Structure 1
Amino acid sequence: MYRNLRLFFLTSLLLLGLAGSLGGLLASTPESQAERGTAVLLTVKGAITPATLDYLERGLRKAEQENAEILILKLDTPGGLDSTTRDIISLFLNSNTPVATWVAPSGARAASAGTYMLYGSHVAAMASATHLGSATPVSMGGGLPGEEASDDSQKDNAREEEAEAQEEEQQRQGSSAMERKVLEDAVSYIKNLANRHGRNAEWAEKAVRDADNLTASEALEMNVIDLMADNLDELLQAMDGREVVMTGDTTRELATVNLEVIEFDPDWRTRLLSIITDPTVAYFLLILGFYGLIFEFSNPGSLVPGILGTLSLLLALYAFQVLPVNYAGLALILFGVALIVAEAFVPSFGILGIGGVIAFVSGSVLLMDSTNLAVSLPLIGGVALITSAFMLWAVTRFMGLRKRKPTIGEEAAPGEECEALEDFTGKGRVRFHGEIWKAQLQLPEAKATKGEHLKVIRVQGLTLYVEAAVSSNPQSEGATS
């Protein structure tokens, strides 16, 4: 009995020990998971637009909600809008979460606006076989500040070299007061970013003035970027322990080893805004809106063309509000559409229509000012051909309609028949198109019998001037021959 009791106590103690061990393990597991930090990963591919700014704002809010150790921006861009780029960098500089801009994957680039974003980030990283640079601001006309043609009339070699040196200096400084202001503002801006994060300010100025470019290895060697990494794990390992400058010039040491990466991909709203603000889509919406309103005004009450046209036009106006629009190009498009519409109502025999197509194509080419945000030329050509074909069809159609005999009104009455309602000589009553009219025979002495078919000669007021259509009266026959 004592032996069984001792065995019972030993078994109980063993079970209690196992329960305590399992409880401690279960209690420590959430704690270890809670101690593991997070990193939020955003991906930007394409031109920098207001849709990009909206996406990054929401990404930073997500990082703050997750109390993330760092926000990683995977970047591949040809450039974008200057105002949007500055707003994005302002977000980076005032963020409570450090931002690492990583140009990846291999083959990606951080051109123009991307270079500014790299300099404005707390950590600047690039994958192998990537590059950055070409940060010269592009004017609204599409050219570079200070761009001029060389003087080919110089025949003396020394004078040619001097002219080339002067031209190069003008390109670096800007050839006009406005260009110098834009250029110097961009230089000061990127140098301030470089000094804040301890990066190469001299090359930053060169990237703006001379549109210089660097590969990833060259950028690392010249202290333009902080590190190189070909994958996410390598990037997190390389950033661990690095000190970054935060708001208020305070420093923060990064702890990025074993972080849980939360991917925050663009949602449907960002993708929709990106599609709408694409120059080609915005241009198509503009044209669709114009044609929808034209068809609605031509056929009042159709509703469908008017509703679709209004929606398309409003979306296009939103897109143009955030795109670098040349308003002279937009005005030319409006003028061209007005001429094409006027062609349908004014007998110009194609002059208005041809002028409208020329203005339409010219405005389409000038519409977008930025090289990276331009309307596809094949699309412009296709729309111009469709518009020309529609105009040609409308002109030929209207010319054919003008040759047709009128079907309503006083002009349509001559040649038609009416029926005498009574026997009369000279004047009487007839039925014409279901209505009772006064009738006057062409010859006052002529007679008409009830039920006889008479031919209308002309209409004067409320009186029809008629003659016998088929008559057995010799006098009538002679009178109408």
Structure 2
Amino acid sequence: MGRFETGRGPFRFILLALFSLLTLAAAPAASASRVLLLEVEDAITPPVASYLTENIDQAARANYAAVVIRLDTPGGLDSAMRQIVQRELNASVPVVVYVGPKGARAASAGAIITLASDVAAMAPGTNLGAAHPVSVGGPAGAAPSGDKPSQPDTMTEKVTNDAVAYAKSLARLKHRDEQWAADIVRRSISTPASEALDKGVIDVMAEDLPDLLKRLDGRTVSKNGRTYTLKTLNAQIDERPMNWRDRLLAVISNPNVAYILMMIGLAGLYFELSSPGAILPGVVGGICLILAFFAFQTLPVNFAGIALILLAVILFIAEIKVMSFGLLTVGGIIAMVLGSIILFRTPALAGQVSYGVILPVALCFAAFFAACIYLVIKTYRNRPMSGASAMLGETAEVYSWAGTSGKVFCHGEYWNAAGPEALAPGEQVLIAAVKGLHLTVRRP
């Protein structure tokens, strides 16, 4: 027993030494800082805003050293942009917006998101700016025709002034160039990376992500009463792309996609109702309509636009039922185009239906219903192929005749007939009228 006790001493020493070495080896890995990388390569929509805000919150809870948003966007919805900006400003983790890779841009809403970041960075060959609100009815800021500005001009000025004040307040908060912030809204200027760095619009210009982390290391960020020192050199990069649900929502929340889904859905239901039992058009139309309505929940939908599009479909259906010689179709096309233009209530160009989508859809519907009208008119003008009306003008053979009446043979049947006198059996006659089971005939 004593020998066993004595032999355990060296064994314990060896175990303690191994444990100490493993602990020392694991210590650097455990203490290494982590950076969360989020990627945006699309318009700023509610699903994109949800993706960014949720992951920024998770990064704060997981004690990440920083969140890097690699941004390449043409702009987007004002409501989604403001949601992202609020989370950037109030997050308990430094948020870095990096406009990259080379050739990327951060326009419109993307410029404001970059302006609100704790550290703004750009890759060479990128540009930033062009944040002027774009209205549907024409170029914003157009000169009024009279001394007193019109209501649309007044609304445009109000929206522009609000955007200018918002951009300047963010620039002031982040100690960036306020005049530049006002100019990207009022004058729609766009600035390349090197010029933005010289003007103090951005803080860093980096070739790529590793270069960015190297330049961020040691930089201090002050926000919400706290000071953060970034430790990003050799930091572990955790990429968190959008999951399939977010990607699906981002795709169908594109106004053009949502619009096309709605039009396919309406067309599918029309075909199903006009030809019951086809099944496939109804199934496809129902799925597309549900997806479109789901997308409308995330978009600023104008119900007047939906009403005009539904009116257009009703007019198209009525054109087939009522002979209006194309007037209902013309009215339907006008209603569809107007409804498509005002379908979404947003001044952002990325939040509207593109004219490149509206015009082909309207032309396709116009061509389809024009073809339907042509076929209907052609059918009305064609000679009947069945029934009593189809016998008019047909040739019949006299079977027996006495005076002004007798029997004739036509279509494999014997008919009672009335007609001119002195018709001889075997003589060919033409059917002039059909009344019940009696024919009226005449000589050719």
TM bin, normalised by shorter chain, reads 0.7 to 0.9
| Per-residue CA distance 1:309-361 (angstroms, 9 max, x = gap) | 22212322333443455666544433332222111100123332233234434
1:217 partner SS: helix
The answer to whether residue 33 in structure 2 is matched with residue 54 in structure 1 is no
Which residue is equivalent to 1:285? 261
Which residue is equivalent to 2:168? 191
2:292 partner SS: helix
Give the Cα separation in 2 of the matches to 1:352 and 1:286.
21
Identity %: 41
Aligned length: 401
The answer to whether residue 64 in structure 2 is matched with residue 68 in structure 1 is yes
Give the Cα separation in 1 of the matches to 2:152 and 2:363.
40
> Structure 1 residue 268: deviation in Å?
0.9
| Per-residue CA distance 1:70-99 (angstroms, 9 max, x = gap) | 110001112111111111111112212221
Which residue is equivalent to 2:425? none
Q: 2:180 aligns with which of 200, 203, 213?
A: 203
> Structure 1 residue 209: deviation in Å?
2.4
Which residue is equivalent to 2:368? 390
The answer to whether residue 20 in structure 2 is matched with residue 24 in structure 1 is yes
| Per-residue CA distance 1:39-72 (angstroms, 9 max, x = gap) | 1100111211112112112322431343211110
The answer to whether residue 223 in structure 2 is matched with residue 228 in structure 1 is no
Aligned in 2, Cα 1:181/1:351: closer, same or farther, shift over 3 Å? closer
Map residues 196-345 of structure 1 onto 2, 5 A cutoff: 196-247=173-224, 249-323=225-299, 329-345=305-321
Give the Cα separation in 1 of the matches to 2:302 and 2:137.
8
Give the Cα separation in 1 of the matches to 2:360 and 2:191.
39
The code of the aligned residue for 1:392 comes to A
1:252 partner SS: strand
Give the Cα separation in 1 of the matches to 2:439 and 2:273.
43
Question: Which one is further off, 75-84 or 348-357?
Answer: 348-357
Aligned in 2, Cα 1:189/1:354: closer, same or farther, shift over 3 Å? closer
Give the Cα separation in 1 of the matches to 2:329 and 2:275.
21
Give the Cα separation in 1 of the matches to 2:196 and 2:139.
27
Which residue is equivalent to 1:147? 142
2:237 partner SS: strand
Aligned in 2, Cα 1:139/1:379: closer, same or farther, shift over 3 Å? closer
The code of the aligned residue for 1:304 comes to L
Give the Cα separation in 1 of the matches to 2:158 and 2:378.
60
Q: 1:132 aligns with which of 128, 147, 155?
A: 128
Give the Cα separation in 2 of the matches to 1:212 and 1:386.
38
Give the Cα separation in 1 of the matches to 2:211 and 2:299.
37
The answer to whether residue 40 in structure 2 is matched with residue 44 in structure 1 is yes
2:39 partner SS: strand
1:344 partner SS: helix
The code of the aligned residue for 1:191 comes to K
1:311 partner SS: helix
The code of the aligned residue for 2:178 comes to A
1:72 partner SS: strand
The code of the aligned residue for 1:274 comes to A
Give the Cα separation in 2 of the matches to 1:231 and 1:221.
19
Map residues 56-135 of structure 1 onto 2, 5 A cutoff: 56-135=52-131
Give the Cα separation in 2 of the matches to 1:176 and 1:348.
40
Which structure 1 segments of 5+ residues have no match?
1-8, 152-165, 416-440, 444-454, 460-464, 469-477
| Per-residue CA distance 1:434-456 (angstroms, 9 max, x = gap) | xxxxxxx899xxxxxxxxxxx99
The code of the aligned residue for 2:238 comes to I
| Per-residue CA distance 1:177-209 (angstroms, 9 max, x = gap) | 433432332222222222222222232122222
| Per-residue CA distance 1:230-274 (angstroms, 9 max, x = gap) | 122221222222222333x33222222221110001111121112
Give the Cα separation in 2 of the matches to 1:81 and 1:129.
25
Question: Which one is further off, 74-83 or 349-358?
Answer: 349-358
Give the Cα separation in 1 of the matches to 2:131 and 2:434.
81
1:129 partner SS: coil
Which residue is equivalent to 2:427? none
The code of the aligned residue for 1:139 comes to S
| Per-residue CA distance 1:21-48 (angstroms, 9 max, x = gap) | 4332212233322111211100111211
Give the Cα separation in 2 of the matches to 1:253 and 1:343.
70
Give the Cα separation in 2 of the matches to 1:176 and 1:149.
7
2:35 partner SS: strand
Question: Which one is further off, 25-34 or 336-345?
Answer: 25-34
Question: Which one is further off, 39-48 or 359-368?
Answer: 359-368
CA contact under 8 A between 1:414 and 1:458: conserved in structure 2?
Answer: no
The code of the aligned residue for 2:177 comes to N
> Structure 1 residue 17: deviation in Å?
6.4
CA contact under 8 A between 1:38 and 1:66: conserved in structure 2?
Answer: no
CA contact under 8 A between 2:142 and 2:153: conserved in structure 1?
Answer: no
Give the Cα separation in 2 of the matches to 1:231 and 1:280.
33
Name which one, 1 or 2, has greater alpha-carbon Rg: 1
The answer to whether residue 177 in structure 2 is matched with residue 182 in structure 1 is no
> Structure 1 residue 103: deviation in Å?
0.7
> Structure 1 residue 138: deviation in Å?
2.7
Pick 1 or 2: higher relative contact order, CA cutoff 8 A, min separation 6.
2
The code of the aligned residue for 1:44 comes to V
Give the Cα separation in 1 of the matches to 2:93 and 2:28.
22
CA contact under 8 A between 2:77 and 2:350: conserved in structure 1?
Answer: no
1:372 partner SS: helix
Aligned in 2, Cα 1:379/1:120: closer, same or farther, shift over 3 Å? closer
Which structure 2 segments of 5+ residues have no match?
1-5, 394-415, 419-430
The code of the aligned residue for 1:68 comes to Y
Which residue is equivalent to 1:351? 327
Give the Cα separation in 1 of the matches to 2:182 and 2:362.
43
Question: Which one is further off, 358-367 or 98-107?
Answer: 358-367
1:121 partner SS: coil
1:28 partner SS: helix
